[in-house]
Copies of this chain bind each other. A is one copy, B any other.
């Protein structure tokens, strides 16, 4: 066994490769964002060519991680979902840790966590979880799933509504910002738009024009691609 060499839980060596962890996480998260997960979506998210995804899907299928990738898109097996949830957990705990303990800012940890999520040991994740006091949200406001062997938690990937459709005149508390685009994240951070912040929707220009919001007493214009990343609740 040699504890420490076994970096993943060894129940399934297949899901242990660093590349497969990235695929699992992305497929898992995409499955909450649309009716079906397609090869090209995955390719776009991971920045690889479509045939690379096809090849990986074949390997994942051979490992029993895929149930029928037909017209319903890519569907993870129950087993694969557990692994994917665990990758998500590691990713988000690492993000939280890097912000809290290493002094990184919340808009620059995503790529770092992407690189680390598949190489940290379970023991380190455990230590981090303890040191941080078992957090439930990462710095982007994303929920942190509990370990599979633990008690059932209230974990869900459901998103609160995005800023895009909020009517003029409403106030809006940001609770979560999608972290898949790091440059957008940096821009939003620069404007003071971050999880927990309260903002007012003061105007909306027609024909897809920007949404004007007030944050920290400043008026800011946000295009639709940006407002779609910002989620929260009205009037909270």
Contacts and interface: CB of A to CB of B under 8 A. Distances in A.
Interface of A: 4-5, 7, 97-98, 101-104, 108, 111-112, 115-116, 119-121, 123-124, 127-128, 130-131, 182
Given A4-B182, A98-B124, A123-B108, A131 B103 contact: yes
A220 to B, nearest CB: 25
A46 B12 CA distance: 24
A196 to B, nearest CB: 22
A104 B124 contact: yes
A101 B7 contact: no
B102 A124 contact: yes
Nearest to A101: B101
Nearest to A109: B124
A119 B121 contact: no
B131 A101 contact: yes
Nearest to A128: B102
Contacts of A128: 102
B119 A103 contact: no
A17 to B, nearest CB: 13
Contact of A4 (B108, B123, B131): B108
Given A4-B182, A108-B4, A103 B130 contact: yes
Contacts of A108: 4, 123
A121 B131 contact: no
Given A4-B182, A101-B101, A121 B127 contact: no
A97 to B, nearest CB: 7
Given A116-B116, A116-B119, A119-B116, A127 B111 contact: no
A119 B111 CA distance: 11
Contacts of A127: 98, 102-104
A111 B5 contact: yes
